[in-house]
Amino acid sequence: MSRPRLAVLISGRGRNLQALIEAQRDGRIPAEFAGVLSNRADAEGLLRARAAGIPAVSVPHRDYPTRAAFDTALAQSLRALHPDIVALAGFMRILGDAFVQEFEGRMLNIHPSLLPKYPGLDTHRRALEAGDAEHGATVHFVTPALDGGPAVIQGRFRVQPDDDAERLAQRVLEEVELKIYPQAVAWMARGELMLRDGAALLCGHRLQQPVTLQDLEEAFR
Ligand code: GRF
């Protein structure tokens, strides 16, 4: 039985990609990397992929006259990898409905906020301006609604008085994202997580709320 094929889409530094590479390498994610795609040729994450022996190519969105033309080219490259799982990891493009529908149910995204709070950009500044006591990140299935698909797992922490947007971004990445994404992708690789009728099912149970890092820590205690 061949292992599921994992494709990762990036735009930048690839720290989430690196966490997935390390989790796959140590056996926590039972999948094979099919490839890494980036919409930017200068994405540092491409170097991380190649250093790990993963095929990595860029499909620069600037090379295409329209968003639809870019989506078509990206879908073609992604389809050619025959992915069973697609992880958007720091991927900064909004994908059109046709692209999303082709990969819906296989595609996850990580978003640096406690969704449904703060879909879109600039999440850390918005959380600070709102005076939120807590902040964090969410992994969700990708559906046509921007950052709106069913949430799978979420991690949160208390905002400290000296946290500014930059410090929050670093805390969200290090204390939450790098932990929750490997867990979500591992569930997908083991066939325990799926999207059905617009809801996330984990081990057959419909998730009314995302799983939290605390749930996991208690479970493992
Ligand atoms: C992460 O906070 C991610 O949530 C956001 O971009 C940041 C950097 O991602 N979309 P990476 O280092 O490229 O994984």
Specify the residue for token string 């090379």: 63
pLDDT value of position 145:
87
**Averaged pLDDT score across all residues of the chain:** 96
Q: Is 110 in the pocket of ligand 1 (CB under 6 A)?
A: yes
- Quick: pLDDT tens for 163-191: 999 999 999 999 999 999 999 999 999 99
Mutate to test the pocket of ligand 1, among 9, 13, 16 (most ligand atoms within 8 A of CB): 16
Query: For 62, which DSSP code?
Result: G
Is the CB of residue 28 below 6 angstroms from any atom belonging to ligand 1?
no
**b/e burial code for range 146-161 (CB count within 10 A of at least 16 → b):** ebebbbbbbbbbebee
- Residue percentage of the chain with pLDDT more than 70: 99
pLDDT digits (tens, 9 = 90+) for 69-106: 999 999 999 999 999 999 999 999 999 999 999 999 99
Q: Is the CB of 89 under 6 A from ligand 1?
A: yes
Q: Tell me the two tokens of residue 213.
A: 């890092």
- What are the tens digits of pLDDT across the range 107-139? 999 999 999 999 999 999 999 999 999 999 999
Cα(92) to ligand 1 centroid in Å equals: 9
Q: pTM for this structure?
A: 0.96
What is the mean predicted confidence (pLDDT) over 14-37?
Answer: 98
What domains can you pick out in the chain, each with its CATH number?
5-220 (3.40.50.170)
Strand 85-88 to strand 107-111: parallel, antiparallel, or no bridges (unpaired)? parallel
